[in-house]
Each structure stands twice: as C-alpha cells, then as structure tokens.
Chains A and B, each alone.
Chain A
Amino acid sequence: MYLDPRYEMAKLKLGKVKKAILVASGKGGVGKSLIATSLALILKEKGFKVGLLDLDIHGPSTNLILRVRKKPTGDRKGLKPINANGLEYMSLTLLVGEKPLAFRGETKEKLVLSIFAETSWDLLDFLVVDLPPGTGDEVVVTLRLLREKALAVVVTIPSILSLNVVRRLLRLLTDEKILIRCLVENMSYLRYGNSVIELFGRSEAYTLAEEFGIKDVLKLPLNPELEELLRRGESPLLSQEWKRCMSRLADLVTS
C-alpha cells in the first residue's frame, strides 16, 4: 500500500481559496510571469484578497518582478506565504534562493505536491498561479489539485511557432475540463507615435480562440516601458497603458 497524505493536506490548505487563475502557455518566454504578477497586483488594487504562487521551479521570475527575498515561516499548519506588496506570495526561490534544482519528473511531481500540501494560504478570492512553459509535472499536478476551482488565462504571441505549442496546452486544458477564460495575445503590436506596428504580422488569435470556444481574446502591446520599470524595481502597473490592459484582464477573470 502507498497512501500519500499530501493530497488531503493540499485540499485542506486550498480550502480557503475561492478561485485559482492559472496563467499558462505551453510556450516559453511569452510573458506569463509578467502577466501573472501584474494581474495579481491589479486584482489586489481592485480590493480582492489575492495570492500569487510561482510554480516555475526551474526558472522562477515573479520574485524578480516583485523584488522580494523574505523567508516564509513555519507553524502548525505548514508554511505561511510571505506578504509581497499586499499579495500572499510563495515561490521556491524563497526557500532555496538561486540554487539550481536538477531532478527527474517523479521528484518534480512530488515537489509540486509538497508545495501545495505545505503552503497555508489565507482566505483568498484569487490565487494566481504562474506556470512554467510546457505541459509537464507542474501543470499536470496543478490541474489535478485545482481542477474544481481553476480557470485558465492562456498566453500566446502572434508567432506561428507559439501558436502550435499553445494549441497543445489548449487541448490539454479542454480535455481536463478547465475553463479557458481568455486567450491573451501578448506582444501583439507596438505603438510608435501615432502608428501601430504589428511586429509578427497577421494575428491568428481569433481563429485559435474560435477553435477552442474561448469567449475572449485580449491583445496586449509590446511596451518598452515595462523593461525600464523592471530594471528600476518598480511595479509594471506604473505603465498606464499596461495598467489599462491588466485592468481589462482582471475584469474578464472576475466577471
């Protein structure tokens, strides 16, 4: 017999989380972490209780956007997420810093399970989860544990290379019966003076959304201000254009 109590522990720990928003893509480097963090911050600004969980075990980056490096503390219930700009926040970087984590899938599956089993979230309206690219253990375990309260925000860019990878994730989410609330097309265009440049040419986002019955498509600009803000350690929401976009995304996921 092999009964792992972590599944029940995870259920308990997630008991006070009302909804989980999974920010996923399948494709790497398309803006998941920036969008997940910005979305969490704007939801908090709108008055919700929000948690942010970084599940990108091999390449976490929400901690860099939030500029946090505090350690969580333990108690009878497990590990308490830290407070990061008003968000309840958890990431493995808080536990292992910059140390590399190299291991095979079985270990990763258990580690992700442990993260859910040990992190004791407070009462949350939304838990935003930043997922790594691909459809590996992090994604599979998350869907297993959060399927009843999850909705997905899927991020893509207008490149043909992204489209194909993202389609695989959309197929997985559809088969697992996760509501795909919105398809976000990031880096969709660039404002330059009075003109709008479509860097990757024609967008296929609407076709893709239709194929999977996704109600809303949100196009986001490539915005050079964002990098400046990140370098200065400031909130991406200080960009007015980005803030408007994130506010729109927040309205979609809360509607």
Chain B
Amino acid sequence: MHEWSIAEGIIRTLVSYAKERGLRRLIEVEISVGELSMLDVGILEEALRMLSEEEKMLRGAKFTIKTKPVLFRCNICGSKWTLRDMKSSLEKEAQEYLLEDEEGGLDLPLHYMPDLVYAFARCPNCGSRDFEIEQGRELIVEKITSER
C-alpha cells in the first residue's frame, strides 16, 4: 500500500516544480512506472486523483501512467532477459524475505526498493550477479504540461 506514500511524493514534487517556475496550473502529468517497482497502478491512480484535489494548481490535472517493462542485460555473457523470464526464480529466492503490510498482504522487498533485485536475481544464462537494468527500474515523472 505504499503507493499512497509515492503519490504524496509525486504531488509534492509537482507542486515544488510548479512553484519554482511560477506556473499557475498543471494540466497533464505523464508518469512512467518501472515494472520492477511492482506497484499497483490502480491504487496509485486513485491516490493521485484524491491527493491532487487538495492542491489548487493540480485540481483537474490529468495523470497518465505508463508501465515500462523491465529489461536486464548481463555484463558477463551479454544475454538479455525480462522480469517474466525470471519471475519464478525470483519468487523462490525471495520467499523468506516477503514483507507483510497492514492488511496482511505479502510483498517482495523490491516493491519498496526496486534495486534490491540485485539481492535475489542472477543471470538466467550464466548465473552471474553482475547485470544491468536497462529499463523499467523505477517510477519517474516524465512529462508535465502546464499553464502560466
């Protein structure tokens, strides 16, 4: 459920962005959610909608959320893979490390800190832990349309 905390961070980021530039209103905000962060986009959207109503400069703003698939690349053997290719081994590696939330749900630690994937993942081809996350790592605000 920490989608709410992220939404709050996004709202504050947008407000300070607008203030720094003297913008009156933000009309559209594009957010890219890396698949690795395992966020529930539905909850995030709802949280953004509710929280943005409380900020004058964000009232009625349109939030567009795109999910970006993860792509890994091994630094040793060069092979590339996706989260799906690795999902079962990841879940197996991390099964002792699931974190409970307030409703008793269980989340992988990556849900909070995507970069912790390095603790649980290895290259499916050669087994190395030395790999890159080429895309789809984290959540970022990619584009803002505003009105002066």
Residues of B within 8 A of A4 (CB): 13, 138, 140-141
Assess whether B107 is interfacial by the CB under 8 Å rule: yes
For residue B111, which residue of chain A has the nearest CB? Answer: A74
- Which of A8, A75, A95, A117 touches B109 (beta carbons < 8 Å)? A95
- Which of A5, A76, A92 touches B141 (beta carbons < 8 Å)? A5
- Which of B1, B17, B96, B115 touches A74 (beta carbons < 8 Å)? B1
Q: How far is the CB of A215 from chain B (nearest CB, A)?
A: 36
- Which of B6, B99, B144 touches A72 (beta carbons < 8 Å)? B99
Query: Is B115 touching A110 in the complex (CB atoms < 8 A)?
Result: yes
> Which residues in window 99-147 of B have CB below 8 A to A?
99-102, 107, 109, 111-116, 118-120, 129-130, 133, 137-144
Query: Is B12 touching A12 in the complex (CB atoms < 8 A)?
Result: yes
CA distance A100 to B8 in the complex (A): 32
- Which of B17, B116, B119, B120 touches A3 (beta carbons < 8 Å)? B17
CA distance A117 to B13 in the complex (A): 13
> Which residues in window 91-147 of A have CB below 8 A to B?
92, 95-97, 99-103, 107-108, 110-111, 114-115, 117-118, 120
Residues of B within 8 A of A6 (CB): 9, 138
Query: Is A75 touching B13 in the complex (CB atoms < 8 A)?
Result: no
Query: Is A8 touching B16 in the complex (CB atoms < 8 A)?
Result: yes
17 more A-B residue pairs beyond the given contacts A3-B140, A96-B97, A96-B119, with a C-beta to C-beta distance below 8 A: A1-B143, A1-B144, A3-B141, A3-B144, A4-B141, A5-B9, A6-B9, A71-B97, A74-B101, A76-B2, A79-B112, A95-B112, A100-B129, A101-B118, A103-B118, A118-B112, A118-B113
Query: Is A75 touching B9 in the complex (CB atoms < 8 A)?
Result: no
- Give the number of chain A interface residues (Cβ < 8 Å): 38
- Give the number of chain B interface residues (Cβ < 8 Å): 40
Assess whether A192 is interfacial by the CB under 8 Å rule: no
Assess whether A20 is interfacial by the CB under 8 Å rule: no
For residue B143, which residue of chain A has the nearest CB? Answer: A1
Residues of B within 8 A of A92 (CB): 116
Assess whether B38 is interfacial by the CB under 8 Å rule: no
Which of A3, A78, A99, A108 has the most chain B CB atoms closer than 10 A to its own CB? A3
Query: Is A1 touching B141 in the complex (CB atoms < 8 A)?
Result: yes
Q: How far is the CB of A117 from chain B (nearest CB, A)?
A: 7
Which of A76, A77, A108, A120 has the most chain B CB atoms closer than 10 A to its own CB? A76
Query: Is B10 touching A71 in the complex (CB atoms < 8 A)?
Result: no
Query: Is A111 touching B6 in the complex (CB atoms < 8 A)?
Result: no
Query: Is B115 touching A103 in the complex (CB atoms < 8 A)?
Result: yes
Residues of A within 8 A of B12 (CB): 5, 8, 11-12
Q: How far is the CB of A125 from chain B (nearest CB, A)?
A: 23
Q: How far is the CB of A7 from chain B (nearest CB, A)?
A: 7
Query: Is A8 touching B9 in the complex (CB atoms < 8 A)?
Result: yes
